[in-house]
Structure 1
């Protein structure tokens, strides 16, 4: 003889309460990402590759000169694209366009503005960002989940008390997701535009440092919970 499956909504003697717990925190970011795109153009493929390699190495040397300030440095896509003439019977290559994409991750925001402007001084170099974010193991995620569970318990207790009953047990706790608005792959929470400067003779002026204010991050947590309670007094 099989045992009947308990009903999800409980019984008159052991009613169940289903509630949703939510939490929303605003915290300071822990890291910032800069997107760097190095470009080169020319009518000769080899010369274009050499220019791209030289500019890429200059950017890498600058980033590495900041030591542990740059926590992570990653190279993304590399492309070299022939550009064809718009008119004519025969397709002819009129130029080559090469790009290298890099991403730098920093936790020391005191040098972020200086680094961004120094990178922007490089020819045909585009800077995007910063994208502020929390680390995947940030304590803020844990605190949001804790507060969401606490709210679920408090909400269920209030429903039970309204019926003259008390909570007796938790029978289910389902995590419906805890997410940060600024997770990788780096949605534009606070995007910067292209930054590029050029010098025209004479001694170079000191590089100005941008004053970049970190954008606070919003962390959400949601849980669904079911509890049993004593028989209500109706």
Structure 2
């Protein structure tokens, strides 16, 4: 009975699932944790307006929102991203009396800005907070998805896996022979931009307009970011000296 060449029998499989006495397997996990300076910061700006009629509220809201956008855009290249998020205009009903009588209208617009110049960030934040009925939240510190720190963390995790596997093999009087499998368990920023920052990972500011005509820039201290990488690695090793 002949064996199909395209379907080798288990006895001739080049990598037995659990190793053999002649080529034992060793499985390890490599980890790396780096602390690096952030590359970008994001702030959230919310402007509000309130009027006794809808048109007045909309006009005030538009004017304040344009003032915010013009101020942010005036900083040029340090502003890497500017996005308008939620907009709302809401009628407020009277507390007393019957019927649906509108007492006033309240509107808001939320904008997010992403900056790479943290000196400009401190100045911009105070100037935004000095505007009428303007709330500023943040900053949220982060790394870019393409940051070299992610690749460096993965590289160090692989090196640790090799060193750990070699230490196990040498403890048996053997050495590593070949890499069988390398599985990436993920390398991620501790405070990705698309997720809410955990408690303590950001500074929050909320202002409704300062009284000082020329507020001093905030001295913002960037929070270092933790980058983590983990890999599972499997190797074959030479026969141990038992």
Shorter-chain TM range is over 0.9
1:213 to 2:213 alignment = no
- C-alpha separation in 1, matches of 2:35 and 2:83: 29
The runs of 5 or more residues in structure 2 that have no matched partner are none
Deviation at 1:10, TM superposition (A): 1.1
Residue-pair matches, total: 230
Cα separation, partners in 2 of 1:120 and 1:94, compared to 1, 3 Å: same
Q: Is the 8 A contact 1:22 1:151 kept in 2?
A: yes
- C-alpha separation in 2, matches of 1:29 and 1:100: 28
Q: Is the 8 A contact 2:92 2:102 kept in 1?
A: yes
Determine the structure 2 residue equivalent to 1:229: 237
1:170 to 2:187 alignment = no
1:69 to 2:81 alignment = no
Deviation at 1:47, TM superposition (A): 0.8
Matches of residues 18-29 of structure 1 in structure 2 within 5 Å? Answer: 18-29=27-38
Question: Superposition RMSD on alpha carbons, in Å?
Answer: 1.5
1:67 aligns to what SS in structure 2?
coil
Q: Is the 8 A contact 2:134 2:208 kept in 1?
A: yes
- C-alpha separation in 2, matches of 1:110 and 1:228: 52
Deviation per residue, 1:134-170 (Å, 9 max, x gap): 0110000000000000000000000000111110000
- C-alpha separation in 1, matches of 2:41 and 2:210: 26
1:196 to 2:208 alignment = yes
Q: Is the 8 A contact 1:117 1:195 kept in 2?
A: no
The runs of 5 or more residues in structure 1 that have no matched partner are none
Determine the structure 2 residue equivalent to 1:93: 102
Deviation at 1:91, TM superposition (A): 2.6
Q: Is the 8 A contact 1:33 1:186 kept in 2?
A: no
Deviation at 1:205, TM superposition (A): 3.3
Deviation at 1:87, TM superposition (A): 4.3
Q: TM-score, normalised by structure 1?
A: 0.93
1:119 to 2:131 alignment = no
